[in-house]
Structure 1
């Protein structure tokens, strides 16, 4: 509720104080005229200015959801006819924005379809990729319709909740869907400026630092030590990864910007342009974020050809898959970064893309986001709770650690198959599960070591083991990562790190970041993110009567 018991009027993304009067007219179009005033106090000065700028940024013909607290019968979708706001400031006393908006009613959500008109274009690329047509309406939408051929679906969980992404959208189809106006903004792309104030239009001031752009799955902002901080939402929080961009090779990355502006600012898609003076000349970086996407798209441009690149600020090994790179190992958050381009590039040693003798570089940055860890205590940072040892002792040790300060030290006895094992967790027969973790052997283990899954039936009786074992290198951390299918009758599973055979007493094996997770779903693998970039389709939303 607004202050002083006033109701709320939500005009698109702009929150306003609900006015007493809503003037309506009939005829060829059903009009709705609203006017009111926002003021400081009780709002902050920044809030009043943002709402003033937001009203004046409304575009005639634009479809927006409108909701009322005290007049919910007027809730629905409207097109903007005209909008204006008068800004008045009495220095050090009050600031007011007296606004007027004229709207034409499209209809309530019960009688209105929202139609997403997708371009259908695929980016020109040097890899003969066709991409994958995909689309993500707001969280809370319903009755998604693509005609005779249905798209497939996947769910991505972000800061706003689970958003449905439609994959394989039929060609030459503009999907239709319904959505309550009160749900339209959930899962949206939004840009905030200094003080976390959301920016409601494009022709408004935007600080060169202190801004962020987010869709609940990806959050991008500036960094004091790198060009961009690209954050991926996984495991209930954002995980940060720093990236550099350069227009003069790796020796001169851009760490600050002279200006920022918005080229597009809609719930389904935002484009932010950053500008840097080069003395002479300038560089621009356009960043695009779409609703439901796990990647940020970038286009770096200069006037004079040079070596352009986008790369990790700290070296992190990656596998080069020609059209994209993906991190070789999980990071401390359980994610693997991915980066690529639609055009031929050279792989950067830190993990990234380079293109020489060019004035433009397109790229995308994302992450293969980790699924929730099913076992407890994967890192032993506090204790060894949740683990039991067989044919060995299990203690917490800070002699070796891959992440943090501690690891789990397994010391074998004379018995066979020394192992540390988690408590049983529920699994589903036929589903895919990922077992991963780091092992460190201070001395040779000729019988090998591994990170495995033990399967159990509904009565908790042992069924079988899915094994990923090898002879580990001595004195170095080795990453084990394998996906397995839960066998018939499997109802429970445990994660196991173990030594093979009977290595004898006193053999040491350290384990860290040991995780049992559901496998990365189709749609979130690095190849999928690449295909989604290649077929990223600009979207325009229109209201049509059902």
Structure 2
């Protein structure tokens, strides 16, 4: 709500003071609406007035925008921009004003208007024979999505703005239509902010080379002030953004750093934004384009240098173990981090995996890439208690042997659980407390396990009914090298009538007391959602289509 009791009128994403009168017209040229008003400092901040002035002048003729009114809600709807202007006046050390005028053509209210998304372009040329996956994400709060006679599948992603629906497998050569209340049109949008967190309302506007961020509620990319990286790619999981610092390099490995010489927006719409960063070389220049789309779990990047071909790379600032599947166009972390996430990255063209985890290409002037994260279940939430044993063994007991907490060896953190068989029991195990489960649901079990001897060790999930009677066991097995941590990762489905489960690292048969195992980071979780696995993100990157939105009468 505007200050001093005024209502708000929002033109696209630009919030303005609602004026007393609007001028409307009809006739053969359609239904027009003319607005004018003034923004001032005070009561706004100077930065807010400047942003609104620049935003008005950045409106593009023909662009379809949502317009909402507080005090005149019956005027809310979708409009095409005819013209826009703003006069900026600064009274030194006193006040700043922006006197604005906007002329619009009414398309219609949301009850009579469809938004049509024209997904243009083609599947990215790639070296991996990938057809990609066409996908699309309208605003949170849309309704009545149609793509002709073939319906795409859907998935939901929960971000800082709420739950957004992503349509997967959108038919080729189809421009989907959907409805949306104008008041919901900005929910889940892509937005760029500049110094001080001020949102930037257009593309033809000033943008600071430092202090910027680009977000869609699922991924947040920010300029980094400390920590050694150039920018921070944050994934929203578990009700918070989780950070990973990334750094680009050029000139045979020279780090670009976090001091850019310039920043500009090539595109800045609710459905898609492209941020270009520029760094001077000696001689020449280096540019990095970052693209973010509404509903996406990854940021797209394209770096290039205008001088001789050299090595280009983008890699994690802090090294993480990863699975080298570069031959398939992507990389992903070997195991989950403390937040339940695994970094994922890739390129459409052949590349070499960097040792830290990242994308590297030799003798080139350009490099395309994508960076994201795959997350387990509802934000990587672990269902069992005390998975890391960092302070104690609460929630864990030994069966057929003795369990103690140790501080060495450990795989991650400050502690681990050591289990010693008693030399008599069959299938002795370290058991978690009972975990509530739902019959028929797929779960993911992971753990790091090592053994003092070379032998097979199981990670069991034991299922029980509502009377705590044993039902069955799901097993993930590995043959271990002596004194070497091995990562266990597998999925199991809770059987009919299952109500609880225990996570149980188990030494099979009748092991001797010398077959001591050490367990760390033992977790039972929901699996990675379909659509968010690293290969899904890779395929969505390959077929990420630029989107233009038009208003059409139903």
TM range (shorter): over 0.9
* Alignment equivalent of 2:312, drawn from 308, 311, 318: 308
Could you say which residue in structure 1 is the equivalent of 2:239? 236
Change (3 A) 1:116 1:275: same
Could you say which residue in structure 1 is the equivalent of 2:74? 73
* Alignment equivalent of 1:320, drawn from 309, 324, 343: 324
1:481, 1:242 → 2: CA distance? 26
* Alignment equivalent of 2:386, drawn from 370, 377, 399: 377
1:267, 1:541 → 2: CA distance? 10
Deviation at 1:395, TM superposition (A): 4.7
| Alignment partner of 1:126 is 2:130 | no
Correspondence 1:134-283 to 2 at 5 A: 134-223=135-224, 224=226, 225-283=228-286
1:235–1:370: 8 Å Cα contact kept in structure 2? no
| Alignment partner of 1:437 is 2:447 | yes
1:87–1:97: 8 Å Cα contact kept in structure 2? yes
SS in 2 for 1:467: strand
Could you say which residue in structure 1 is the equivalent of 2:526? 518
SS in 2 for 1:530: helix
Could you say which residue in structure 1 is the equivalent of 2:429? 418
2:281, 2:518 → 1: CA distance? 50
2:437–2:494: 8 Å Cα contact kept in structure 1? no
Deviation at 1:434, TM superposition (A): 0.6
* Alignment equivalent of 1:542, drawn from 543, 546, 550: 550
Deviation at 1:42, TM superposition (A): 1.8
Provide, for residues 224-281 of structure 1, a one-character-per-residue CA deviation record: whole Å limited to 9, x for no partner.
Answer: 3112211111122111112221122334344421111000000100000000000210
Could you say which residue in structure 2 is the equivalent of 1:332? 338
1:355, 1:265 → 2: CA distance? 29
2:270, 2:527 → 1: CA distance? 30
* Alignment equivalent of 1:466, drawn from 465, 474, 481: 474
1:120–1:171: 8 Å Cα contact kept in structure 2? no
Provide, for residues 273-312 of structure 1, a one-character-per-residue CA deviation record: whole Å limited to 9, x for no partner.
Answer: 0000002100101111111111111111111211111222
1:474, 1:495 → 2: CA distance? 23
Point out the more displaced range, 370-379 or 285-294: 370-379
1:77, 1:393 → 2: CA distance? 69
Change (3 A) 1:401 1:193: farther
1:212–1:222: 8 Å Cα contact kept in structure 2? yes
Deviation at 1:365, TM superposition (A): 1.1
Change (3 A) 1:37 1:453: same
2:508, 2:208 → 1: CA distance? 58
Change (3 A) 1:348 1:78: same
Change (3 A) 1:108 1:458: farther
SS in 1 for 2:53: helix
1:445–1:503: 8 Å Cα contact kept in structure 2? no
Change (3 A) 1:145 1:508: same
1:453–1:495: 8 Å Cα contact kept in structure 2? yes
Deviation at 1:91, TM superposition (A): 2.1
| Alignment partner of 1:40 is 2:44 | no
Unaligned segments of structure 1, at least 5 residues: none
1:477, 1:106 → 2: CA distance? 63
Change (3 A) 1:34 1:484: same
2:466, 2:114 → 1: CA distance? 46
1:510, 1:158 → 2: CA distance? 36
1:422–1:496: 8 Å Cα contact kept in structure 2? no
Could you say which residue in structure 2 is the equivalent of 1:407? 416
2:110, 2:468 → 1: CA distance? 49
Point out the more displaced range, 86-95 or 127-136: 86-95
Could you say which residue in structure 2 is the equivalent of 1:362? 368
SS in 2 for 1:366: strand
Provide, for residues 110-134 of structure 1, a one-character-per-residue CA deviation record: whole Å limited to 9, x for no partner.
Answer: 1100000011511111121111111
Deviation at 1:396, TM superposition (A): 4.5
Provide, for residues 382-435 of structure 1, a one-character-per-residue CA deviation record: whole Å limited to 9, x for no partner.
Answer: 544444443345454444443332334445445441222132212241x32110
Deviation at 1:97, TM superposition (A): 1.5
1:114, 1:492 → 2: CA distance? 46
* Alignment equivalent of 1:483, drawn from 464, 473, 491: 491
SS in 1 for 2:244: strand
1:145, 1:332 → 2: CA distance? 40
Change (3 A) 1:436 1:30: same
2:396, 2:7 → 1: CA distance? 54
Provide, for residues 454-505 of structure 1, a one-character-per-residue CA deviation record: whole Å limited to 9, x for no partner.
Answer: 2223444321111113344444433211112233343433322333334455
1:458, 1:245 → 2: CA distance? 54
Deviation at 1:23, TM superposition (A): 1.8
1:396, 1:42 → 2: CA distance? 60
1:107, 1:395 → 2: CA distance? 69
Deviation at 1:325, TM superposition (A): 1.5
Point out the more displaced range, 179-188 or 354-363: 354-363
2:457–2:508: 8 Å Cα contact kept in structure 1? yes
SS in 2 for 1:527: helix
Change (3 A) 1:388 1:99: farther
Deviation at 1:178, TM superposition (A): 0.5
1:15, 1:396 → 2: CA distance? 57
Point out the more displaced range, 454-463 or 262-271: 454-463
Change (3 A) 1:479 1:71: same
Deviation at 1:150, TM superposition (A): 0.5
